[in-house]
Amino acid sequence: MLALAGSPAREAPAAATSDATVDAALAAGRSLYAFDCSVCHGPTGGGLEEARLAFPPEHRRCTRCHKPNNPVVMPLDRPFVDNDMFAIGTPPALHGAARDAAADGAPLAALARPEALFAYLRATMPRYDPGRETDLEYWLLTAHLLDMNGRAEAAREAVGAAVALGFTAP
Ligand code: HEC
Ligand code: HEC
């Protein structure tokens, strides 16, 4: 379903993207997020404090295994040495409602242009294995994060870019 089409067109005319396609792309983005991002950023983007609650109580102290001095990037398909798990850092909340703007500033997804958010995600997330998603998937994740921040028009633009890479509503 998420296969890549040939041309890496970056921007598609937003007006040409139907509401049904936008809904399907946002649903696909939500499910990618649930698989690859919510483990650190929380199911609704509330940050590590929310993410912790999805773990059994005895696993909530992440640094017991993901030691802060361990490497940050450690793809899961490589063998782990001495049970050294990647450091997870402090995954922030991804939307304004869950974030202390005074302490942390506004979330990137509340401010950035869609292409800038896409470029950030592709270069850095998921933090232990950046670049592991396809460009099409990064656009769907971009659309989801923009939608999470109430940016409907920007989310539609990101969906347009996913459509240009071959996304079609199922
Ligand atoms: C008891 C040790 C332990 C604790 C505590 C622990 N982890 Fe892990 N974690 C692991 C191991 C081992 C793996 C690799 C599992 C695998 O290869 O599927 C892993 C994998 C992961 C992954 C990548 C795979 C995935 O499921 O997405 C993430 C992200 C992660 N942990 C985050 C966390 C967070 C966040 C916490 C704290 C809330 C935490 N872990 C607590 C041992 C631990
Ligand atoms: C292993 C934990 C972990 C996983 C998994 C992870 N992130 Fe992150 N993320 C972080 C940390 C920590 C930061 C803070 C910046 C840094 O240290 O790189 C961050 C920062 C971000 C930011 C910038 C937040 C801001 O407003 O400044 C976004 C957006 C983001 N992540 C999205 C994602 C998406 C989308 C995924 C899934 C593809 C993902 N992250 C997976 C740990 C994680």
Segment 100-126 mean pLDDT: 92
Tell me which CATH code domain 14-164 carries.
1.10.760
pLDDT, tens digit, 9 for 90 and up, residues 16-72: 689 999 999 999 999 999 999 999 999 999 999 999 999 999 999 999 999 999 999
- 41 in ligand 2 pocket by Cβ < 6 Å? yes
- Measuring from each residue's beta carbon to the nearest atom of ligand 1, which residues come in under 6 Å? 39-40, 51-52, 55, 59-60, 62, 64-66, 76, 85, 88
Full-model pTM:
0.92
74 alpha carbon, distance to own chain's centre: 18
Q: Are 126 and 132 in contact (CB under 8 A)?
A: yes
For residue 98, how far is its CA from the centre of ligand 1 (angstroms)? 23
39 alpha carbon, distance to own chain's centre: 11
Q: Are 62 and 68 in contact (CB under 8 A)?
A: no
